[in-house]
Structure 1
Amino acid sequence: MTDERLRRWRLVLGGGDADGTGRTLSGTDAAMDGALTALYDRKGQGGGAGLGASAPSVARWLGDIRRYFPTSVVQVMQRDAIDRLGLATLLLEPEMLEAVEPDVHLVGTLLSLGRAMPETTRETARAVVRKVVDELEKRLATRTRATLTGALDRSARISRPRHRDIDWDRTIRANLKHYLPEHGTLVPERLVGHGRASRAVRKEVVLCIDQSGSMAASVVHAAVFGAVLASLRSLATRLVVFDTSVVDLTEQLDDPVDVLFSTRLGGGTDINRALAYCQSKITRPADTVVVLISDLYEGGIRDEMVKRVAAMKASGVQFVSLLALSDEGAPAYDREHAAALAALGAPAFACTPDLFPEIMAAALEKRPLPIPEG
């Protein structure tokens, strides 16, 4: 085995008599090994080799892992430190927040701390959340606007347009089979017109978001998408969050950070109550898309929730049920409720942020959803 392979195995196995590498680490390798041992060595967690519970020692450790590991690894290690060692409360201290690597999961942890967060920490926390939100918007906003604008244009096209509303490019392409070569001309049988979506709101979207603790990453992504959808003039977007109560955050959609700090992660779930509120706000069912983002663990009236979805679909509402809106895949979820929704023609599935624009475009155009496999 080469020296490099021995070095890597030594870092993986953590040393001791059982690792079998016989390798001694020094310099940067020793520092990396120390950072890993502080978090993952079970003996260290209970004794002096662990991170301990003091903010200074954790802040130093956070600085070390950012120095020695790539960002993607740092984010995983931070998450493990919070979950394994119970360090969430230390995030209430500003110096700790300044040391961490911001990511979606960290935002979820901060939001779950909620009212426990002192004023001295709140501004630092907002800065951390703002950085993550800005990065998500850069990644998602342009493609989302382009995809949905195209879908809205297509859904608004008319088949008997006035002359000034004819989309000549699409009309020619739609009638190429009617080209008469002997006359060198094309006789259109069907005219394709531009929609008038810019003059009036054509579609309405309601995002109904479960804010139970397991949905933290979905809440973050939904807030960003809500702000992007609200920026489209041809959409009227409403954002509703719920646990056992229902809060309408539509008025705050211009700033997803405000939306996030108005949520309250954790607690129970009453999906039926939330859907009842959303249903009461629908004025044009045939032009409305309702997106429920929830793991479907219902704490309210279970049968009524399914009946309410059936009623909305029967009225013409396009209903989309997402078990998660994150990069993590499907969480634990209520399979009985998922099967009941699927039987209504509203299959429940996990959706990544990159796929969400395509899901929304399909819903707006009333065509089959591009449901991911698995």
Structure 2
Amino acid sequence: MLGGDGGADGTGCALAGSDVGVDRTLEALYGAGPAGGERREAGLGQSAPRVARWLGDIRTYFPASVVQVMQRDAIDRLGLSALLLEPEMLEAVEADVHLVGTLLSLNKAMPETTKETARAVVRKVVRDLEARLSDRTRATLNGALDRSARVSRPRHHDIDWDRTIRANLKNYLPEHRTVVPERLIGYGRAARSVRKEVILCIDQSGSMAASVVYASVFGAVLASMRSLDTRLVVFDTAVVDLTDQLADPVDVLFGTQLGGGTDINRALAYCQSRITRPTETVVVLISDLYEGGIRDGMLKRVAAMKTAGVRFVTLLALSDEGAPAYDRDHAAALAALGAPAFACTPDLFPDVMAAALERRPLPIPEP
């Protein structure tokens, strides 16, 4: 800790002013008294009023990013999850993606008196994520869809003359005051009318909590784009299609059940059964690949979808934390099928989706 009473904690420096409060908030979570002794502040314990005061103190002394880390540590180190079921506690916390994941894992145990407060906390985080991610996602994917619809041998009435002229300015003949187009650019009618299909298939095991939150937000953004047909499927050992709830990602999140086993093969079987136009479909599997179902079946389904023309993307995580623990054998098997598995940050996800829609190489980050 910083120092303080009782021999100044061995530092030789006594604290004064706000430093005393900072030291007490740190010690309540991380500190202990002299060897063999008790915590000076007896920790946070399981007292809701004491924890609520502590949550207020850390927001006074530390920036939001540090507050979020300390809250996570309090939940992990001191077992405070049960206190999050109390409305006054939820009103005191600094909301972030990890807190949402914790609340979703407690959803079934949450009393009715707490659920509305919990939904308000989740909605605030979702609203902040949408503000951060939605505009860039739409712009990036609309550009990709625009380029994927472009054809190089259009019929005369489908030629995009503006792009064609700009692409052929090097062939301008001043004596004739004209451009000789070597390459025509246009939009085929069929290409414009065909909507791309995206299926987000999300592992909702407990380790994937942050990925579930981000994927739900992205699912809502994709569903709002008229040029895409978006389906969102979550799974553990059961499979749940939440597509009809995509208008509100908060409803999607409360429709998930974090924890339990994992049956990727069963989830992919469901997704495969919903594909009607393979060459216009992108399937995104978000999972750490710890398969509890039929491994060979999972791989055969991926191979069959790719053979049919589906663009298959495997994300080990969709979060800011980087690659989680994952099944390396399954990841290697998918890579051998041409479906490399990698972790993806939320900021990179629009570029990954754009590449998938355009059927160009994925922007896989360096390990």
Shared topology, TM-score over 0.5? Answer: yes
**CA contact 1:45–1:51 (8 Å) conserved in 2:** no
After superposition, residues 213-292 of structure 1 pair within 5 angstroms as 213-292=206-285
1:371 matched residue in structure 2: 364
Residue 129 (structure 2) aligned to one of 130, 136, 141:
136
Q: Distance in 2 between matches of 1:304 and 1:176?
A: 54
Q: Distance in 1 between matches of 2:169 and 2:245?
A: 48
The reply on whether 1:180 has 2:170 as its aligned counterpart is no
The reply on whether 1:328 has 2:318 as its aligned counterpart is no
Q: Distance in 2 between matches of 1:124 and 1:201?
A: 42
Normalised TM-score (structure 2): 0.94
User: Structure 2 counterpart of 1:39, which letter?
Assistant: L
Q: Distance in 2 between matches of 1:186 and 1:260?
A: 55
**CA contact 2:8–2:14 (8 Å) conserved in 1:** no
Q: Structure 1's 26 and 159: CA in aligned 2 closer, same or farther, altered over 3 A?
A: same
The reply on whether 1:37 has 2:30 as its aligned counterpart is no
Q: Secondary structure at the match of 1:345?
A: coil
Q: Secondary structure at the match of 2:323?
A: coil
**CA contact 1:201–1:235 (8 Å) conserved in 2:** no
**CA contact 2:4–2:20 (8 Å) conserved in 1:** no
Q: CA RMSD in A?
A: 2.0
**65-74 vs 153-162, which moves further:** 153-162
Residue 158 (structure 1) aligned to one of 137, 146, 151:
151
- For structure 1, the 5+ residue unaligned runs are 1-9
TM-superposed deviation, 1:362: 0.1
User: Structure 2 counterpart of 1:314, which letter?
Assistant: T
TM-superposed deviation, 1:304: 1.1
1:313 matched residue in structure 2: 306
Q: Structure 1's 196 and 118: CA in aligned 2 closer, same or farther, altered over 3 A?
A: farther
2:354 matched residue in structure 1: 361
Q: Distance in 1 between matches of 2:176 and 2:332?
A: 58
- For structure 2, the 5+ residue unaligned runs are none
Encode CA deviations 1:260-318: one digit per residue, 9 max, x unaligned: 00000000000000000000000000000000000000000011111111111011000
TM-superposed deviation, 1:157: 1.4
TM-superposed deviation, 1:169: 2.9
**CA contact 1:37–1:49 (8 Å) conserved in 2:** no
**CA contact 2:201–2:283 (8 Å) conserved in 1:** yes
The reply on whether 1:102 has 2:95 as its aligned counterpart is yes
Q: Distance in 1 between matches of 2:267 and 2:289?
A: 12
Percent of aligned pairs with the same amino acid? 81
**CA contact 2:4–2:13 (8 Å) conserved in 1:** no
2:345 matched residue in structure 1: 352
Q: Distance in 1 between matches of 2:98 and 2:49?
A: 22
1:67 matched residue in structure 2: 60
Q: Secondary structure at the match of 1:307?
A: helix
Q: Structure 1's 37 and 161: CA in aligned 2 closer, same or farther, altered over 3 A?
A: same
Normalised TM-score (structure 1): 0.93
TM-superposed deviation, 1:46: 6.6
The reply on whether 1:26 has 2:26 as its aligned counterpart is no
The reply on whether 1:92 has 2:85 as its aligned counterpart is yes
Q: Structure 1's 187 and 90: CA in aligned 2 closer, same or farther, altered over 3 A?
A: same
Give the number of aligned pairs.
364
Q: Secondary structure at the match of 1:331?
A: coil
**CA contact 1:75–1:101 (8 Å) conserved in 2:** yes
**CA contact 2:290–2:326 (8 Å) conserved in 1:** yes
Q: Distance in 2 between matches of 1:68 and 1:25?
A: 15
